[in-house]
Amino acid sequence: MSQKSPISSRIAQVEESATLAIDAKAKSLKASGVDVIGFGAGEPDFPTPEFIVEAAIKAAQDPKNHKYTPAIGLLELREAISLKTRRDSGLEFSPNQIIVTNGGKHAIFNTIMTLVDEGDEVLIPSPYWTTYPELVKLAGGVPVAVPTSIREGYKVTPQALEPYITERTKLFIHVSPSNPTGAVYSPEETFDLGRFLLDKGLWVMTDEIYEHLTYDEVKSTPILSSVPELTERTVIVNGVAKTYAMTGWRIGWMISPPQVHKAASNLQSQVTSNISNISQRAAVAALLADLSCLDEMRTAFDRRRKTMVAMLSEIDGFNTLEPEGAFYVFPDVSGVFGRSIGDTKVTSSMDLTEVILEQAEVAVVPGEAFGAPGHLRLSYALADSALVEGLERIQKLLQG
């Protein structure tokens, strides 16, 4: 009898999220008494602002929120998203072009499933967020990584993209600020990229989840504000997770042209129905408030970013670019390869991650998870004291 796997080949090719896996490993070591410091998390260490929590409590007490509501989201929330998009990006979209999803990740899933056909190629600048290529594969598409390096600040240009375009290229994935590099495209870079994508007739998915987390004088530039002509072939994905410290509430959204909206609405109506009404009401409160609740968090992130970059730059063999947005630092660590640390000869960032976890009890994420071997990703969304202690441990291990 054949030993056919019960798992479909489509699902079998999907890899576990490396970032969530590292985070889970660090948390379980911690639970077993090991004093692990985790730089793996992709979430703010702040609680959700109180006024948002209050709105959820009120919503939970109102029986109208105990029932099914429209699969694409509450009209009040879609109106709030429409207003927020005008306020923050200067773009006009009707609530009828918006679908509320189970976090930004689900908006990305809907978008890719709706746009990508068997064999379609999707251009993804690397280093990339680990979820993008996995979802492209799930849709039957072909993820095409377009490499960038520290020299270009981890950003793609039209010249870098040109050789990767084929007859099957359907979609380009844009994210600025970026996870994992923290790179932010300038207005000029965004314009050049947008014009190129327009000329090539490509679809664009623009992931704006970190739009408000930028530092110094840097601001993020929405690609559609820069090149409005792309509107007919662009899907915006966004959510409340990072801006309002609401990762656990699972509210995201997609804004798309009518034909895509209709198809993605059908998909959502079969797969999830509506997202939790309680979370949706909380998101209305978040989006209708001004952005001042972000100030404290952004100030803390900025301070930690500077500390982290300074401390990583002191390590021999690390090459660290100061990120302009999000909450990650992505040092090129290939300069330590070939060295022996304890009993281990380090030849990859995967090796280095293991050595750092075992010998310094510090969790970081290897660049392999982002299509960028030779790097590590460290999140600075953790308390200042833990951040300094964790970096001192890494310094001591690698300098000692």
Ligand X SMILES: Cc1ncc(COP(=O)(O)O)c(C=O)c1O
* Contact positions vs ligand X (CB under 6 A): 42, 103-105, 129, 175, 179, 207, 209, 239, 241, 247, 252
Contact in structure between 173 and 148 (CB atoms under 8 Å) = no
CA–CA dist 399, 126 (Å, integer):
30
Cβ at position 24, least distance to ligand X in Å: 15
> Minimum distance between the CB of residue 2 and ligand X, rounded to whole angstroms?
39
Spatial separation of the C-alpha atoms in residues 302 and 156, rounded to whole Å: 25
Nearer to ligand X by Cβ, of 104 and 125: the residue is 104
Contact assessment for residue 87 and residue 238, using Cβ atoms and an 8 Å cutoff: no
**Distance in Å, CB of 157 to ligand X, minimum:** 20
Q: 76: which DSSP letter?
A: H
Question: Minimum distance from CB of 106 to ligand X (Å)?
Answer: 7
Residue 61 Cα to chain centre, angstroms: 33
Q: With respect to ligand X, which residue has the nearer C-beta, 355 or 381?
A: 381
Nearer to ligand X, 93 or 129 (CB): 129
Which residues, including other chains, have CB under 8 Å from residue 137's CB and lie 6 or more apart? 13, 14, 143
**Coil vs helix vs strand at 98:** strand
Using the minimum distance from each CB to ligand X, give the nearer residue, 95 or 239: 239
DSSP H or E stretch at residue 158: helix 158-161
Question: Tell me, what DSSP letter sits at residue 325?
Answer: B
Decide whether 239 or 331 has the Cβ nearer to ligand X. 239
173 or 346: whose CB is closer to ligand X? 173
N-terminal to C-terminal alpha carbon distance within the chain: 57
Query: What SS3 state is found at 174?
Result: strand
CB of 135 to ligand X, least distance (A): 11
Q: Which is nearer to ligand X, 141 or 239 (CB)?
A: 239
Nearer to ligand X, 294 or 346 (CB): 294
The least CB distance from residue 207 to ligand X, in Å, is 5
Give min distance, CB of 119 to ligand X, in A. Answer: 25
CB 283 within 8 A of CB 80: yes
Query: HSE-up of 205 (CA within 13 Å, CB side)?
Result: 29
Asked if 211 and 218 touch (Cβ cutoff 8 Å), the reply is no
As a whole number of angstroms, the distance between CA 267 and CA 270 comes to: 5
Residue for token digits 């870098």? 160
Tell me the closest approach of the beta carbon of residue 238 to ligand X, in angstroms: 8
- Using left for φ > 0, alpha for ψ between -120 and 50, and beta otherwise, residue 260 falls in alpha
